[in-house]
Amino acid sequence: MPEGKATKSDSDREFLSQAGVGELLRGAILKMVEARSDDPIGFLADHFCNLASVAETGAQEQQHLNRALWHLRLAHHSQRSAFSNNVRVAYDLLNLTGPRRRGGGGGGVRGGLYTQALQCLCSEGGVPASTSAPLLRRLHCQDHEAVPYDVFRHGVLTCAVFSDYIRQAQRLYAEVCCPDEGPASRALSLGVLGTLKEALETSQGSDAIRYLEASAKISPYRLAQAIAAAQTQGPGGDMDAKEFENAAAELFITRVKVVS
């Protein structure tokens, strides 16, 4: 084969490989063989039309998700009225792609899209995936479920507050840890976590914001008491920042109601 034709052939094969055409055609043929269709051309035409429809729906959902997340970033959750308005706008955007109940009424945000939005909020809030995973399991909805507005708002608000709470826990650890000296002592860390737990337990109500407000009001005096107690007793060893963060997160997550 002449060199020019060989080069073009290699280029064509590379293009087909990158586009995934081989896998696409192989999958279509396997489906056709499985169905034993009497109209192979018609079957393949329907198959590729369905694939195109699914791809288009996925692209539209991603666009709606991006727009919804943009609205959710506009106001901090402490700006109650503005935040609530933005949550409603985000919900309506995602509801355009959600399932509809029989009879044409109601509907809601598709469970998978709702869960994806919560994952994005935690990630953008600086919460590591390993830290947010237990919270998302409590808030998770099945992909086929239609999520009503109240559940959606609860999940969004909880993730927004949780992001602030984790940053607050990280600051608490920094208060008792000297970076130049390595991790904080385990006794000291447990003392601070005990103070944080006490603040959460004495908060009024079950709203996630109450937990954030309670933990933010830990006074320097109470923190000093915990540090003093830890210096005289408690287990030995160290606790690094990640372990402290996970322990603080668990204190918050166990107080979040499970979505059913």
Q: In whole angstroms, what is the distance from residue 84 CA to residue 257 CA?
A: 20
Give just the sign of the alpha carbon dihedral 237, 240, 243, 245.
Answer: positive
What SS3 class is residue 242? helix
Q: State the pLDDT at residue 152.
A: 94
Higher pLDDT, 29 or 91: 91
Q: State the pLDDT at residue 47.
A: 63
Q: State the pLDDT at residue 143.
A: 84
Tokens of 138: 């409590």
Confidence of residue 121 (pLDDT cuts 50, 70, 90): very high
Mean pLDDT of all residues in 53-78: 79
Alpha helices in the chain (DSSP H): 3-19, 21-35, 40-72, 80-95, 111-124, 129-139, 149-176, 186-201, 208-216, 220-232, 241-253
Residue 173 CB-density burial (10 A; 0-12 exposed, 13-18 middle, 19+ buried): buried
Q: State the pLDDT at residue 101.
A: 40
Q: What is the pLDDT of residues 181-216, one digit of tens each?
A: 678 778 888 888 888 888 777 766 556 777 777 776
Res 131 pLDDT > 80: yes
Confidence of residue 157 (pLDDT cuts 50, 70, 90): very high
